[in-house]
């Protein structure tokens, strides 16, 4: 089945008059927003720069870039970017207002940019998500216990500043992963005069909001303009709460690899291929995240998240893809939860039962046999604890 890059190549000779702007065009532009343009280009690119995409250096796959940016500058994204550069359809697309901020002290990563297509007055504000490293995934999971992160404030400031400078401009906002959460937060909690300039907000397999924020009047004001897309086996997209029905997309990959929009299946007429319902694993993850956020305090969630990722990172793993396809890692997570002394026994049992269900759905969906080591370890632990009186 074709994917985004196949679509871009297929329509390269078609103008926006021949084939109007569609969801695939919007998601393709969002996806190349992951590229570090300030490093790829042979000219300075910053907030004051406006440059056509076709003018950015095309030979952007040197070994040095691959080594330093192996989680942002991927083969799929470079192929998509080069297809856009070579396309007559996108020949007038420009990049501007590029911001890329990293502040280790405050654990903040924030990047945003504007893509413009002048002949159709299309202005797309893209908030970059996290990369595919474990550090990036840890940042996504932080959203489950932090109502606001430093990047949220940066997103609101970026949106407000741009629309204050361009008062005659209506925009589309998009973001994938954490970028979608930033887009949602900025659109939901900016001033009313800025909300009025937002046509649509594309949320691509991104976390929602804390449940209490959905009742806010400012969120309700933007709700009808939200377009939520996630793959059938979504992980990140089922974190937190979203009361807008999602379009579920077919992917050529499995598990967390479905998170990548480059793997989402398309038809060449400008639409994603869809499915009617999420996978069992995604449904269980959805319920697990909600159970844990309701049963555990913010501090306890932080402890679990930090302990889990720190343990995985210290083991030498650099990507959650390794964890997903390695059954031993389930045992690692299980042992981490069981060893946390500051979480009472009743809450541990809740978490471990959820984990057992996750393992069951994960292995069942892949038609793999559950490891006896995992099954026996978890069952024996739960049996021992069930004999004790829980506080």
225: CB partners within 8 A, 6+ apart:
187, 198, 199, 200, 201
What is the predicted pLDDT for the residue at 66? 40
What is the predicted pLDDT for the residue at 145? 83
Q: Is 306 helix (H, G, I), strand (E, B) or coil?
A: helix
- Burial of 159 per CB tally in 10 Å (0-12, 13-18, 19+): buried
The predicted model scores a pTM of: 0.83
Torsion of CA 292, 297, 301, 306, to 10 degrees: -170
CA separation, residue 165 to residues 161, 199, 367 (Å): 6, 17, 55
What is the predicted pLDDT for the residue at 67? 36
Pairing status of strand 108-117 against strand 122-127 = antiparallel
- Complete domains list, the chain, with CATH: 4-277 (3.40.50), 281-387 (no CATH)
pLDDT at 236 over 90: no
What is the predicted pLDDT for the residue at 358? 59
- List pLDDT tens digits, range 217-233: 999 999 999 999 999 99
- List pLDDT tens digits, range 377-388: 666 666 666 666
Q: If you average pLDDT over every residue of the chain, what do you get?
A: 83
Report the distance separating Cα 277 and Cα 313, nearest Å: 33
Please, which pLDDT band fits residue 198 given cuts at 50, 70 and 90?
A: very high
Contact (Cβ atoms closer than 8 angstroms) between residue 239 and residue 140: yes
CA separation, residue 159 to residues 33, 143, 155, 200 (Å): 16, 20, 6, 14
Higher pLDDT pick, 329 / 115: 115
Structure tokens at 388: 């004790």
How far the first Cα of the chain sits from its last, in Å, is: 53
- Give the number of other Cβ atoms within 10 Å of residue 53's Cβ: 19
- List pLDDT tens digits, range 248-262: 999 988 777 788 999
What is the predicted pLDDT for the residue at 315? 66
Please, which pLDDT band fits residue 64 given cuts at 50, 70 and 90?
A: very low
């Amino acid at each position: 089945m074709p994917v985004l890059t196949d679509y871009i190549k297929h329509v390269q000779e078609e103008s926006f008059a021949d084939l109007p702007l569609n969801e695939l065009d919007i998601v393709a532009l969002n996806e190349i927003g992951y590229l570090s343009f300030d490093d790829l280009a042979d000219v300075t690119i910053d907030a004051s720069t406006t440059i056509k995409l076709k003018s950015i250096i095309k030979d952007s796959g040197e070994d040095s870039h691959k080594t330093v940016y192996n989680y942002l500058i991927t083969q799929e994204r470079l192929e998509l970017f080069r297809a856009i550069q070579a396309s007559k359809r996108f020949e007038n697309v420009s990049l501007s207002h590029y911001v890329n901020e990293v502040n280790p002290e405050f654990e903040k990563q924030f990047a945003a940019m504007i893509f413009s297509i002048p002949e159709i007055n299309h202005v797309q504000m893209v908030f970059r998500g996290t990369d595919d490293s474990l550090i990036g995934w840890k940042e996504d999971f932080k959203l489950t216990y932090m109502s606001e992160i430093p990047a949220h404030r940066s997103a609101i400031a970026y949106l407000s500043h741009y629309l204050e400078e361009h008062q005659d401009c209506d925009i589309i906002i998009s973001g994938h992963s954490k970028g979608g959460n930033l887009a949602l937060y900025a659109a939901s909690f900016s001033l009313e005069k800025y909300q009025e300039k937002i046509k649509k907000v594309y949320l691509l397999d991104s976390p929602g909001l804390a449940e209490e924020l959905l009742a806010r009047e400012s969120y309700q004001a933007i709700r009808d303009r939200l377009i939520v897309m996630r793959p059938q086996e979504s992980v990140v997209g089922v974190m937190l709460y979203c009361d807008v029905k999602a379009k579920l997309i077919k992917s050529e990959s499995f598990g967390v690899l479905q998170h990548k929009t480059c793997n989402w299946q398309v038809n060449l007429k400008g639409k994603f291929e869809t499915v009617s319902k999420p996978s069992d694993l995604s449904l269980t993850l959805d319920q697990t995240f909600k159970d844990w956020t309701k049963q555990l305090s913010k501090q306890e969630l932080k402890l679990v998240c930090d302990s889990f990722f720190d343990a995985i990172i210290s083991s030498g793993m650099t990507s959650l893809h390794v964890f997903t396809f390695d059954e031993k890692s389930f045992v690692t997570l299980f042992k981490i939860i069981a060893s946390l002394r500051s979480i009472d026994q009743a809450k541990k049992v809740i978490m471990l039962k959820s984990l057992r269900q996750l393992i069951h759905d994960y292995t069942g969906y892949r038609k793999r046999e559950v490891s006896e080591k995992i099954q026996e370890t978890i069952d024996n632990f739960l049996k021992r604890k069930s004999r004790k009186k829980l506080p």
